[in-house]
Structure 1
């Protein structure tokens, strides 16, 4: 997977947007010169992890530090363009298991390919605790988060210190929440996260419409570039919208 660049915009702010979004999952003590990590404390690997390893010569010590700081939770390492060259190979040498790669995609917000909104779909911003809980209930099945963690996820969402950067969207059909998305406004970039669609409503354009809603909100704020990290099912959808791959993360599970 090759890296490229959105004309007139560097990759670094896109990666920084992703890093800051995930750093919002956890306490304030989560970054130092070598290690950037987030800890939600929840028993779900995607909600705890290391986002950047900057010094390959200190990799073993950094993994030890991460293990101490993330003890008691499942976690993973993200290796992207902001990690030191050779980090992925170094993790493999230390017994880490590569889980796969996740493309980082970007598009200019004024060049998103328009899409017709599915009939009957209403998109709203999420306001208030009750609406937030409904939003979390709508997205957690797509991320494999078990129902017993629902209240804990809601508390983590409520406790985010960067709430001013976050705008959440819910898609409804006949009053029922059937999809979600989130705009993260940081580093001059419209980051799009938590794009999900209820299983029985997929392949009808709901995820596309919710992605567009987040990008349009970003453009209204003056953000010229949107970014996201694509899973396998979303990748072709985002390509049709005009996104292109500019970098990638490799994901690793580190042995305890």
Structure 2
């Protein structure tokens, strides 16, 4: 979205297509000046500010002993993908009814050759996730989530270390991510630093109008 003229149009389209579903709009350094004000005029509310953090991948990743029994596995087929999606979707509060659609979309992505999906597996169950997308010499780290019942046991640390290793193995120059408040201290321990920030806006959930009225 490069023009403020498009804000109102896109907002109206999103409200129609996403009726009944929470949705957000990220405003960052690549957004046109005035986007935040335009969104506020359309009824959006600012939720938080999220730092964008980077780390050079020529720095060594300190070897870390994962929690006992934990394995970090690349998800390379459709058998494990539904469980991966279920884990991060529930952590994000996504309705279970939407999970099959997310699995279908993930399996059919055109850039799947550039994506490495990692699952933290404990007792043959996926308890944590992250996704690495390698493009333009950058390893983007997304969807670092740990199941609520398994947090604060080093699983997020193990996933982050594994994601950095993926970036190094693929010859990327930098790792980059958008940090949640909970994840920011962890990423700083890995040497990530702020380079920008995004302001996150949300819109009130609206139910669709009955057709034909």
What TM-score results when the alignment is normalised by the length of structure 1? 0.73
* RMSD of aligned alpha carbons: 1.8
More moved, 69-78 vs 221-230: 69-78
Quote the residue 2:210 is aligned against. none
Q: What CA distance in whole angstroms lies between the structure 1 residues aligned with 2:202 and 2:73? A: 36
1:164-183 alignment runs, 5 A limit: 164-183=113-132
How many residues align? The count is 201
Quote the residue 1:85 is aligned against. 33
Task: Indicate the structure whose relative CO is greater, using CA pairs within 8 Å and at least 6 residues apart.
Answer: 2
1:1-256 alignment runs, 5 A limit: 35=1, 54-56=2-4, 58=5, 61-68=6-13, 71-73=16-18, 74=21, 75-111=23-59, 114=62, 115-254=64-203
Divergent runs of 4+, >6 A: none
Q: What CA distance in whole angstroms lies between the structure 2 residues aligned with 1:207 and 1:246? A: 22
Q: Is the 8 A contact 2:130 2:142 kept in 1?
A: yes
Of structures 1 and 2, the larger Rg is shown by 2
Structure 1: stretches of 5+ with no match in the other structure: 1-34, 36-53
CA distances 1:80-116 after superposition (whole Å, capped 9, x unpaired) = 1100123223322443211111111111123265233
What TM-score results when the alignment is normalised by the length of structure 2? 0.87
More moved, 243-252 vs 82-91: 82-91
